[in-house]
Amino acid sequence: GISVAPLRKETGAVTYDPGFMNTANTKSSITYIDGDEGILRYRGYPIEQLAEKSSYLEVSYLLINGELPTKGQLENFESSVERRTLLDERFKRMFDSFPRDAHPMAVMQAGVSALSTFYQDSLDPFNEEQVRLSTYRLLAKVPTMAAYAQRVSAGHALLYPHNSLSLIENFLRLTFGYPAEEYIADPVVVSAMEKLLILHADHEQNCSASAVRLVGSSQANLFTSISAGIGALSGPAHGGANAAVMAMLNEIRDSGTDPRRFMDKVKNKEDGVRLMGFGHRVYKNYDPRAKFVKSIADDVLERLGVKDERLELAMKLEEIALNDDYFIERRLYPNVDFYTGIIYKAMGFPTNMFTVLFAIGRMPGWIAQWNEMIHDPETKIGRPRQIYTGEHARDYVSMEERT
């Protein structure tokens, strides 16, 4: 029996749209994507211009407030964030109590969720002052948590943020364990990190942003809603793809598989193998972020004097794909994550940190999406319908009578 149990008789027809391929859940004025043309804009500004000219916190301000900040507004925003990078001391104990091999995304999700316990003075979703405070806290403390997650898993001591440094410099210093007085930021690495975070900062109604909105639609607080987004991002079909690309490249390299043979496997769908870092629900053209990421990879590898054969391997796979009917017909192109892992590796990040870096980048987008949802008078609690395919009504069978 297939039926849709009516919630209210007057609800009318129900659409069945798995994966929301054709269903808009909201109106939004934050991010514009034209998947056919490969266009991405935040608040109307092309992603290429923002990545080239802006900083991560400037883009955060833009996404959250709708306009680029003036010099004074940006300075105020930066200092409001940068002076909040410290974590409550008890976080250290919490981080230390997780198993050493815990995935840093799981640690981050737990950490962000725990913000609701430590910062109870900023939980009211309808109090603008409190939301502003939790916004600063998230932008400031999530990079510190990410650095801690990596340090703890490596069994290394945790350092304190030093507020004379920028948010990104602090993050890199804490992650790689430089004492503040010895730390000299490499401008190429810092700038690459800023650009990568900007490229990841928002992407309209993707799986994690939708999770943030859905949880927030129940009027759950911002920290809790964002922790749901981190959970959604962790999967390999979403943010976890950047780590999956690296695992794929390692496997091809280490097994000595001919790239063409690997691509045949993908095309024949052997063992469900996909070319990770390729394809996108919305982009049916080259992902504009992927083009930019490739040029960052060239800069960083050159600067750090790293020669990584996986870059050549990735370029070879891309070249095969761009000339192959399987990929052409399905309009599969590199997405943002195809080349990011190679940069993160060159910078010294372990593979399990890649998705955490994505989460740091996506933080302002999630906050902006949550804000838009909470202020939208048309917001209703997210509550999809279903098409019931189970049993018709039947009587309870006692244990003795069951076969």
Instruction: Give the catalytic positions in this structure.
Output: 280, 337
Taking CB under 6 A as the binding criterion, the range among 37-45, 70-78, 163-171, 327-335 that sits at the site for ligand ACO is: 327-335
Candidate list 336, 359, 360, 368; residue touching ligand ACO; CB under 6 A: 336
> What is the layout of strands, in order, in the sheet containing 31-34?
31-34, 39-42, 45-46
Candidate list 330, 375, 387, 388; residue touching ligand ACO; CB under 6 A: 330
Which helix (DSSP H) or strand (DSSP E) does residue 79 occupy?
helix 71-82
272-311 residues near ligand ACO, rule: CB under 6 A: 274-281
**Nearest residue to 46 via CA among 255, 263, 289:** 289
Alpha carbon 341 to its chain centroid, in Å, reads 14
Candidate list 33, 107, 189, 332; residue touching ligand ACO; CB under 6 A: 332
Site for ligand ACO (CB under 6 A): how many residues? 18
Shortest separation between residue 55's beta carbon and ligand ACO, angstroms: 22
Shorter beta-carbon distance to ligand ACO: residue 28 or 170: 28
Answer for the pair 314, 339: CB distance below 8 angstroms, yes or no.
yes
Shortest separation between residue 201's beta carbon and ligand ACO, angstroms: 12
Taking CB under 6 A as the binding criterion, the range among 72-80, 300-308, 335-343, 393-401 that sits at the site for ligand ACO is: 335-343
Q: What is the DSSP string of 216-284?
A: HTTT--HHHHHHHHHHHHTSTTTTTHHHHHHHHHHHHHHHT--HHHHHHHHHTTGGG---TTB--SS-S
The reply on whether position 194 binds ligand ACO by CB under 6 A is: no
Report the C-alpha gap between 291 and 298 in whole angstroms. Answer: 11
Shortest separation between residue 150's beta carbon and ligand ACO, angstroms: 21
The residue number whose beta carbon is nearest to ligand ACO equals 279
Shorter beta-carbon distance to ligand ACO: residue 181 or 325: 325
34-93 residues near ligand ACO, rule: CB under 6 A: none
Question: Is the CA virtual torsion 354, 58, 43, 48 positive or negative?
Answer: negative
Shorter beta-carbon distance to ligand ACO: residue 86 or 237: 237
Shorter beta-carbon distance to ligand ACO: residue 133 or 336: 336
Shorter beta-carbon distance to ligand ACO: residue 108 or 220: 108
Shorter beta-carbon distance to ligand ACO: residue 107 or 232: 232
The reply on whether position 241 binds ligand ACO by CB under 6 A is: yes
Shortest separation between residue 400's beta carbon and ligand ACO, angstroms: 47
Three-state SS for 84-149 is: CCCCCHHHHHHHHCCCCCCCHHHHHHHHHHHHHHHCHHHCCCCCHHHHHHHHHHHHHHHHHHHHHH
209-238 residues near ligand ACO, rule: CB under 6 A: 237-238
Report the C-alpha gap between 43 and 63 in whole angstroms. Answer: 7
Q: Could you list the residues that contact ligand ACO (CB under 6 A)?
A: 237-239, 241, 266, 274-281, 330, 332, 335-337
